[in-house]
A and B are shown apart, each in its own frame.
Chain A
């Protein structure tokens, strides 16, 4: 480890940064009393970059040399960029030393394809194995499964890693083939299915033998790039929904397309990444996973794209005004979750608190319900005010949007008034 490593680290962290997955949650690898590290079931962030993203894992590429030439990727072989490769020892050392200083929760290791997929995968496994066996490391490890690597190697990787992932990147096969001529859906879904089957088997084994080794206890995840192809939100969310239900993925990440290769004619020319759209997709993803929504309630043939102005739940409520108002004191948990401005936490708290008394809007406010939005969609123990059916959906949308805008205006006005820069 010396200044030469600093340079390598710069190149290979820079190469890995477009993979958005950074969660360290969902595993359970308690420290057995020797060694160090402890993968907690809830993730922990240790820092935040200026783009507002959390740093939980040491996210690195083993190498940014690659034999593939995918249009959306910064590391594609036709790019003229500084290239480097870590040794197994360097990655192991960095992980151990960073972890011991409480900089990170664990390691996220991906790689370009060096020589061939199996050769690359073997190196990733070696790193994970050394951490686990030589250093007695119990922290989090997320490994990328290299497309095309053998099933046997994927199996080995899963024994040391907490999470494995294969990135789909592009939501439709036609567009994937256009941007990444070396890839197809089969090469992506095949390892995903293999990992899934292995996880099911492992669960069964562990039921019989308590000490059978764990296989990827934090499951698998994937990433979809948003805005690099003309695919609409329905394509993207249907694929995600499908992956959640058939492949039992823990997470699907959405990554707003950043034009890393601006000269490539196959890609759209954009000035800034579609961050709003990415945000709306995550909100829709949450509705699928935690709010008991079904996919066609969020996007369907009449509404193939999410509304960028308002969040998908509000948008759903405004499209279906006849479902409202919902009675806070009677509705069941699933129905409460449909109210804009009521989240999982407040819905649970409503259920708990209304055992003691009928709730009023003051109670709701204290519970944390966003009344500004919710008030058009509920009735509680109070005189009824004008709701979505009296005002009509368009009017409600208009009110909520102007409220937001005026708030933003006030803020910028306040900033203008400052004569002297604070800080």
Chain B
């Protein structure tokens, strides 16, 4: 019989599920969130009730068996939201807990390598958000930027923006997951916004709420971008590799295209 654990989609929930599995000595075949759960007649189902005490207990155990950094790695891997990430984390945590030495850097172990490859990808995506975020200034002096990152990385970028843009209000919004963060000069809090005034396709704000100077600075930036290029050294391959096309629609220097060209499919 297949063992199926169902949790509430939160990180605390997942660690509670792993905690329960250890305690009941059951090897889960699948751990799924309530959102992606499809009823399976032949599976033994375990509904996990998120419990911060259990979470803390396991979290501290992982920390004592490995390191603080390692905990961060697990959290990053979780943010990938990949299908099956729960079992990858389960296997990794099991290995960490059961091995008598700190196994976090033993890359000859499959579970270590798998988790690390995923958390690295998430780390890279969050770095890309830090690189390619472009704020647009609004009439009420809020700097707005939106994004649809491959992984749920916005939480990883907040401390960076928080320590950098301390004297301006800003919003960073994930249009794919429909949530974001707003900094009001005092604290950062989670927000949701409706579609009015913002084009979720390209992150552009409607012109009537843009600050008067915004267009000029976008134009200045675009002109700077074009002038700094050295034509004799043209290297489009490297250009595309470093500046993936999926980000172009957010970049004023790449014309801020209204509609991204659709790929012509070969019939």
Q: A residues touching B (Cβ–Cβ < 8 Å)? A: 1-2, 5-6, 9-10, 13-14, 16-18, 30-31, 33-38, 44-55, 58-59, 94, 97-98, 100-103, 136, 256, 258, 272-273, 275, 349, 352-353, 356-357, 359, 363, 366-367, 419-423
Is A58 a contact of B165 with CB atoms below 8 Å?
A: no
Give the nearest-CB partner of B226 in chain A.
A10
Q: Given contacts A50-B235, A101-B136, are A36 and B167 in contact (CB under 8 A)?
A: yes
A103 with B221: in contact, given A49-B239, A50-B234, A353-B107 (CB under 8 Å)?
yes
The answer to whether A273 and B263 touch (CB under 8 A), given A10-B227, A13-B224, A33-B166, is no
Is B217 in contact with A101, judged by CB distance below 8 angstroms?
Answer: yes
**Distance of A113 from chain B, by nearest CB (Å):** 22
Cβ 8 A contact of B263, one of A18, A272, A422: A422
Which B residues are in CB contact (< 8 Å) with A363? 107-108
List, in ascending order, chain A residues with CB within 8 A of B168's CB: 36, 100
Q: Output the nearest chain B residue to A52 by Cβ-Cβ distance.
A: B238
Interface: B261 (CB within 8 A): yes
With A and B bound together, what is the CA distance between A423 and B248 in angstroms? 14
- Determine the chain B residues whose CB is within 8 A of the CB of A44 once the complex forms: 127, 130-131
Q: Is B1 an interface residue (CB 8 A)?
A: no
> Which one of B135, B164, B220, B261 contacts A5 once the chains associate, using CB atoms below 8 Å?
B220
15 new A-B contacts at CB < 8 Å, known A48-B243, A102-B134, A273-B232? A2-B216, A9-B220, A9-B224, A13-B224, A36-B167, A47-B131, A47-B251, A50-B235, A50-B236, A51-B233, A54-B242, A100-B168, A102-B133, A356-B108, A420-B264
Contacts of A45 in B (CB 8 A): 131, 242
- 1/0 per position for B152-189, CB-CB distance to A under 8 A? 00000000000111111000000000000000000000
| CA of A83 to CA of B238, assembled, Å | 32
Instruction: Tell me which residues across on chain A come within 8 A of B137, comparing CB atoms.
Output: 100-101
Known A-B contacts A50-B234, A50-B239; the reply to A100 vs B165 at CB < 8 A is yes
The chain B residue sitting closest to A354, CB to CB, is B108
Q: Does B22 contact A (CB under 8 A)?
A: no
Does B253 touch A at the CB level, under 8 Å? yes
Contact status B167-A47, CB under 8 Å: no
State whether the Cβ of B89 lies closer than 8 Å to any Cβ in chain A.
no
8 closest A-B pairs by CB: A52-B238, A52-B235, A51-B233, A13-B227, A49-B229, A38-B164, A48-B243, A48-B242
Q: Which residues of B contact A367 (CB under 8 A)?
A: 107
Contacts of B236 in A (CB 8 A): 50, 52
Shortest C-beta distance, B158 to chain A (Å), equals 14
With A2-B216, A102-B145, A353-B106 as known contacts, state yes or no: A52 contacts B239, CB within 8 Å. Answer: yes
| CB neighbours of A36 from chain B (8 A) | 164-168
Q: Is B57 an interface residue (CB 8 A)?
A: no
Chain B's nearest CB lies how many Å from the CB of A272? 7
Q: Mark B138-162, 1 if CB is under 8 A from A, else 0.
A: 0000010100000000000000000
Query: B239 and A55: CB pair below 8 A?
Result: no
B217 in contact with A17 (CB, 8 Å): no
B155 to chain A, nearest CB (A): 18
Question: Complex Cα distance A31/B161, Å?
Answer: 11
Measured CB to CB, the closest approach of chain B to A368, in angstroms, equals: 9
Q: How far is the CA of A359 from the CA of B107 in the complex (A)?
A: 11
> Is the CB–CB distance between B167 and A136 below 8 Å?
yes
Which residues of B211-225 have CB atoms within 8 Å of chain A's CB atoms? 213, 216-217, 219-221, 223-225
Cβ–Cβ < 8 Å partners of A349 in chain B: 105, 107
Known contacts A58-B224, A100-B165: A51-B239 contact under CB 8 Å: yes
- B227 to chain A: which residues have CB within 8 Å? 9-10, 13-14, 17
Task: Decide: A357 and B108 in contact? CB cutoff 8 A.
Answer: yes
CB of B230 within 8 Å of the partner chain: yes
Decide: B264 and A423 in contact? CB cutoff 8 A: yes
Interface residues of B in 84-105 (CB under 8 A from A): 101, 105
CA distance in complex: A136, B230 (Å): 33
Q: When the two chains form their complex, are residues A31 and B220 in contact, meaning their CB atoms are under 8 A apart?
A: no
A47–B243 CB distance below 8 A: yes
Query: A35-B166, A136-B167, A422-B263 are contacts. A55–B106 as well, Cβ < 8 Å?
Result: no
What is the distance, in angstroms, from A196's C-beta to the closest C-beta of chain B? Answer: 30
Q: Which chain A residues lie closer than 8 Å to B223 at the CB level?
A: 6, 9-10, 13
Q: Once the chains are docked, how many angstroms separate the CA of A170 from the CA of B251?
A: 37
Is the beta-carbon distance between A17 and B113 smaller than 8 angstroms?
A: no
Return 7 A-B CB contacts under 8 Å, by A number: A17-B230, A34-B167, A52-B237, A59-B228, A97-B213, A100-B165, A101-B143
Contact between A420 and B266 (Cβ–Cβ < 8 Å)?
Answer: yes
Chain A residue at minimal CB-CB distance from B236: A50
**B37 touches A (CB below 8 Å):** no
In Å, the complex CA distance between A52 and B231 comes to 11
State the Cβ distance, B95 to closest chain A Cβ, in Å: 13
State A37–B162 Cα separation when bound (angstroms): 10
Question: Which chain B positions have C-beta within 8 A of A422?
Answer: 263-264
B107 smallest CB distance to A (angstroms): 5
For residue B136, which residues in chain A have a CB less than 8 angstroms away from its CB?
101
- The residue among B221, B224, B234 with the most chain A CB atoms within 10 A of its own CB is B224
A38 CA to B229 CA in the complex, in Å?
A: 27
User: Is the beta-carbon distance between B134 and A30 smaller than 8 angstroms?
Assistant: no
Residues from chain B with a CB closer than 8 A to the CB of A1 are 213, 216-217, 220
Complex Cα–Cα for A59 and B131 (A): 17
| Complex contact A30–B163 (CB within 8 A) | yes
